Structure 1
Amino acid sequence: MDLAYIPSPSTGVVHLGPLPLRGYAFCIIIGVFVAVWYGNKRWIARGGKAGTVADIAVWAVPFGLVGGRLYHVITDYQLYFGEGRDWVDAFKIWEGGLGIWGAVALGAVGAWIGCRRRGIPLPAYADAIAPAIAFAQAIGRWGNWFNQELYGRPTDLPWALEISEGVNREAGLYHPTFLYESLWCVGTALLVIWADRRFRLGHGRAFALYVAAYCAGRAWIEYMRVDEAHHILGLRLNVWTAMLVFTLAVVYIAVSARLRPGREEIVEPAAAGQGTSGADGEKDADDRKDGGGEESGEGSEGSAGDQAASAAGPASGSGSVSSGGMPGSEATSPGRDAEDDPAGSGSPNRS
């Protein structure tokens, strides 16, 4: 008698009147919301505007869903176009069946369209949302638990997954590969967050690290699965895909670090125009302390004059020239706070 195991839900659908609420769909939706929320936090920390991630997600998410479904249907076509199958089932995405490879690939196309419309470099956007995508995958994998699918070989381990009798499955205890992958995705997200802070990854390298780390785990987890799949030279198709994509990601990291070291200073032009932040902000502040360099010719005296004019307030009048400032420079106008000076824009952002 097995004393410990992970039970599967008796059903993956709860009916709220005539409306079916599917656990698989809920996991996908929650994952998307978490990705947008956390991706937004990281984007703002990189110097972007609030709401940009959500605006681009309007393009990326639908493209990703279509790409994920296309990859699944193409690689498992026999489930929908074989003898006795109904091709209409290929459109029933709520019943499960999304390939992460197609979701990321076509989702990147949608993100590229959104970034292009906003004048944002796609690699910077990808770096910001990379760990957010991994967290979303960790949540989305629980949809497989609701559907009792994508489990591994039989096992008697205490964390074995109980599977009930059903279409194309036998009752028993199996490796919970959905749980393995969910935990691996959480670890991947934490790895990217740490590496991004430690090495200040830029130009798409944080995203490439996420891809490489995910593929490393997906390869051995995929090898454990027992669901029907195409094989090439004795290995499942997704194992070969994981190894190929892993290699491409590692090569990209190495080449990108050599050709474009460092991180983008400006990730969103519109946000940069509202105020200077980060290293650029510190540089501008230093320039203002020096009175604008050789063009000013007055040094710190010009800064003192500007401060005196600002303190004078309305009495100084609009458009007056400070005694020690740059030729033609204006004093602070009435109603304008000293905080409006870009030199006080703050400390560097950190993701």
Structure 2
Amino acid sequence: MPIPTPSEIAISIGPFQIRWYSLMILLGILVGQWVASRAARVKGENPDHVVGFLVPAIILGLIGARLYHVVSAWSFYVQYPELIPAIWRGGIGIYGGIAGAILGILIYARWQKLNLLRWLDIGAPGLLIGQAIGRWGNFFNQELYGPPTDLPWGIPIDKAHRLPGYESDSYKYFHPLFFYEFLWNLAGFLVLMWVLRRFGRRMADGDLALTYLVWYPLGRFWLEGLRLDSWTIFGIATAQWVSGILMLAAVIVLLYRKRPKLVAPPAAEAGPGGGTVAMTSALPDAEPPVSVAASQQDASAQGTAEASGPGQEAPRT
């Protein structure tokens, strides 16, 4: 039986209401903070800095996420500008949120003189589990769904929340894209935590964050192709453009950082008298090494013998 869609409101006391969407975002932040604190210990860093990073990261992340969404749906918000700050009604863009959060992390890292790349590594698993939990807010808001489906895990969408063209009663259930992304993010979180625990202190700073920038965009690229309300550029969803660019850039940087290092040839050894001896031991038929000083003495003796003429012995030195 398909999963019924619950109410958007979690708590209602008179005019005061708390939405499930807000609670899911808050829960995602709290769990992400706990995970980041554990990751900081694995990396040998002070976990007390996690809260310090969170404050600017959350503020700038929410601003960036909301701006991304508003720009993507500008034709709607230009008619209802009073709804632009109404983030509690839903509508955030994760890539705008990531950009804002990174800016907040950069500000705090420079202020505290901390290693930016290492702290991006520390935050990556927490970000993924936070995204996974936060996606359930889309379920309560009846958003982030895909095309109609007869699969048993399809979800009903009220007509008030359906996109134009899907109001017909013939459409009953839709693909729960939010749930697909939840599973993808959860799997990515487990992968990053395994990598962190196994290779944490041996990994180069920034590698785990780059792995996140491969994993998440890969799943998002696929899911964005199933969305019915994507913001497009040249007929391709904007999030697919961003996902593809981020994923490609992260792969290139990872491969560049892991390229084999060129080994310099062995330096020549100093021979007797300060001369330099050629390294010939690797050659099977090489003559024994001769020092520069010895060769100069031989050349001097030979020149003196030639000057003395036949039958004359060269002076001994």
Which TM-score bucket, shorter chain as reference?
0.7 to 0.9
Does the CA contact (< 8 Å) of 2:145 and 2:177 recur in 1? yes
Match of 1:230 in 2: 231
In the aligned structure 2, how far is the partner of 1:112 from the partner of 1:245? Answer: 19
TM-score, normalisation: structure 2: 0.76
Q: How many residues align?
A: 253
Question: In 1, distance between residues paired with 2:121 and 2:213?
Answer: 11
- 1:215 to 2:242 alignment: no
C-alpha distance in structure 2 between counterparts of 1:116 and 1:47, whole Å: 19
Partner of 2:7: 10
> d(CA) in 2 for partners of 1:147 and 1:240?
26
Letter in 2 for 1:16: I
| Amino acid across the alignment from 1:220 | W
- CA–CA separation in structure 2 for the residues paired with 1:49 and 1:231: 43
Instruction: Measure the CA separation in 2 of the matches of 1:173 and 1:92.
Output: 28
Gaps of 5+ in 2: 262-317
Report the 3-state secondary structure (helix = DSSP H, G, I; strand = E; otherwise coil) of the residue aligned with 2:37. Answer: helix
Q: Give TM-score, length-normalised by structure 1.
A: 0.69
Secondary structure at 2:258 match in 1: helix
Please list the CA deviations of residues 122-173 of structure 1 after superposition, one character each: whole Å capped at 9, or x if unmatched: 1100101111100000000001001001100100001111111215443620
Of 131, 135, 139, the residue aligned with 2:129 is: 135
Query: 12, 23, 39: which one pairs with 1:42?
Result: 39
- 2:106 matched to which residue of 1? 112
Query: How many Å separate the matches in 2 of 1:257 and 1:148?
Result: 43
After superposition, what is the alpha-carbon deviation per residue over 1:272-312, rounded to whole angstroms, capped at 9, x for unaligned? xxxxxxxxxxxxxxxxxxxxxxxxxxxxxxxxxxxxxxxxx
Counterpart in the other structure of 2:139: 145
Does residue 68 of structure 2 align to residue 74 of structure 1?
no
After TM superposition, give the deviation of residue 259 of structure 1 in Å. 9.6
Q: Structure 1 residues 156, 234: CA separation in 2 closer, same or farther (over 3 Å shift)?
A: same
8 A Cα contact 1:12 1:147, kept in partner: no
The secondary structure found in structure 2 opposite 1:224 is coil
Secondary structure in 1 matching 2:204:
coil
Q: Which amino acid in 1 is paired with 2:233?
A: I
Bigger Cα Rg: 2
Spell out, residue by residue over 1:30-49, the C-alpha distance to the aligned partner (whole angstroms, 9 max, x if none): 11111111101110221111
1:84-139 Cα shifts (integer Å, max 9, x gaps): x2111111010111111111111101011111122111110010111110000000
Quick one: which amino acid aligns to residue 253 of structure 2? Y
Q: Work out whether residues 131 and 182 of structure 2, in 8 Å CA contact, stay in contact via their aligned partners in 1.
A: yes
Q: For residue 282 of structure 1, what is the aligned residue in structure 2?
A: none
Once structures 1 and 2 are overlaid, which stretch shifts more, 145-154 or 231-240?
231-240
Q: SS where residue 225 of structure 2 aligns?
A: helix
Partner of residue 82 from structure 2, selected from 74, 88, 108: 88
State the AA in 2 paired with 1:102: G
**Amino acid paired to 2:72:** T
SS in 1 for 2:156: strand
Matches within 5 A, 1:295-306: none
Aligned residues of 2:65 and 2:98 also touching (Cα < 8 A)? yes
| SS in structure 1 of the partner of residue 18 of structure 2 | strand
Task: Check whether the contact 1:219–1:239 (CA below 8 A) recurs between aligned residues.
Answer: yes
Deviation larger for 49-58 or 154-163: 49-58
Aligned residue for 1:20, secondary structure, equals strand
The match for 2:116 is 122
Deviations 1:68-99 (A, max 9, x none): 11111112211201xxx211111101011111
Query: What are the residue-to-residue correspondences of 1:266-345 with 2, within 5 Å?
Result: none
CA distance in 2, matches of 1:94, 1:42: 30
Task: Output one character per residue of 1:172-230: Cα deviation in whole Å (capped at 9) or x when no partner.
Answer: 20000000001100011111122334444332110110121011101111111112x33
- The offset of 1:55, in angstroms, is 1.1
Secondary structure of the corresponding residue to residue 45 of structure 2: coil
> 1:340 — aligned with what?
none
Identity in percent: 36
